[in-house]
Amino acid sequence: MYYIEGQSHDPAFNLAMEEHLYRTVDGRHPGYFLLWQNAPSIIVGRFQNTAQEVNRAFVEERGIRVVRRISGGGAVYHDLGNLNYTFIVPNDEGTPFDFARHAMPVVRALEKLGVKAEFNSRNDLAIDGRKFSGSAQHMDKRRLLHHGTLLFDSDLSVLGRALAVDEEKFTSKGFKSVRSRVTNILPHLPVQLSMAEFIAALRGSLSGTEQRPLSPEEARAIEKLRDTKYATWEWNWGESPEYTERKVRRFPWGKVEALLDVKNGSIAGVRFFGDFFGVENRDELEALLAGCPFRKEDLRERLSAVQLDRFFRGAAPEEFLAFLLG
């Protein structure tokens, strides 16, 4: 099995690296074991509604990236206090999902470091009942990708805020994350380790791995996949399933309720209600916003095409934009 240690902290590059390497594995390939880290980011599951999983205002303020992965499961927060591991192996028999098989090497590695971890029924790794690792899988008849997070010394306060959303606002067909009590590994170690020492210990616990870097050709192919897929709004937000969001806010000029139907990341329909005043019929604005991608730049462009305070007397475009996205 080849061992590759990630050299980039770009989440879009790292997820593209996983997919590219996954495509190269077949029945004769020895497989890959990867260890890699991301700069602050939220990684959402393949079938999730991104808007439902992310505290959008918080992540935009903090510059936290949001990227979708190819495996299912729930949303997770990454930062440089978190370590990610990936196994990519042949799957000639097309075996069903087996999370324990690829999670147990991590349990054994931690045991050597003096930490008693357990694999639970949710396919998570936990210490004293508190989750420190979630995992997910993607497979076809020829290959399997198993990857997971390892909270080593992550900023748990940011984790909680970045993933916090008002669940009552949404009615969605997406798969929602199950929130769990979490902990870092570092406080449980009998001897304190740096991240570099922890990485070395994990790698050392897996015998039979041969380290190799990415080739220049591989790096170029990964960069292309990053730029055309993992760094795009269409993949990260537009792939979200259909959902309905209800937004309510009282402004100095009146109360507004917005009901938005969003499909494939764009507004399929919107209705406005409230005790506001306006001289124009709201139907005109609702028709203008239909079909608009549900992101700041596109909404701002649509709103700039009308005189907003003719629909909502006293409304300022930027505050109304923040309301729609909040």
* CATH number, domain with residue 131: 3.30.930.10
Which one-letter DSSP state was computed for residue 293?
A: B
User: What's the token pair of residue 284?
Assistant: 């005109």
- 78 and 120 share one domain: yes
- Cα 19 to Cα 37, 61, 93, 200: the distances in Å are 16, 29, 20, 24
Whether residues 315 and 198 share a domain: the answer is no
Q: Is 257 found in the same domain as 192?
A: no
Retrieve residue 12's tokens.
């879009």
Q: CA nearest 214: which of 24, 12, 11?
A: 24
Same domain, 252 and 174: no
**pLDDT of the residue at 180:** 66
Task: Check whether residue 156 and residue 79 sit in a common domain.
Answer: yes
Please give the tally of structural domains in the chain.
2
- The alpha-carbon radius of gyration of the chain (Å, integer) is 22
Mean pLDDT of 72-90: 93
Rounded Cα distance between 212 and 319, Å, is 51
Let me know whether 19 and 82 are in one domain: yes
**Residue 194 structural domain:** 2-236
Together in a domain, 294 and 183: no
Query: Using the 8-state DSSP alphabet, how is residue 247 labeled?
Result: E
Whether residue 271 is found in the same domain as residue 122: no
pLDDT digits (tens, 9 = 90+) for 90-109: 986 656 667 888 888 889 99
Q: What's the gap between Cα 248 and its chain centre?
A: 26
Report whether pLDDT(207) > 70. no
Give the per-residue pLDDT at 93.
60
Give the single-character DSSP code of 179.
P
Q: Give the residue from 236, 263, 282 where a domain finishes.
A: 236
Domain end among 182, 213, 236? 236
CATH of the domain at 303: 3.30.390.50
- Which pLDDT tens digit goes with each residue over 220-249? 999 999 999 999 999 999 887 788 888 999
| Per-residue model confidence (pLDDT) at position 133 | 94
Give residue 147's pLDDT: 94
Compute the distance between CA of residue 189 and CA of residue 166 in angstroms, rounded to an integer: 35
Same domain, 81 and 166: yes
Q: What is the mean pLDDT of residues 258-274?
A: 91
Give the Cα separation of 101 and 98 in Å (integer). Answer: 6
Q: What is the pTM for the complete model shown? A: 0.79
Contact 275, 254 (CB under 8 A): yes
More confident residue, 96 or 316: 316
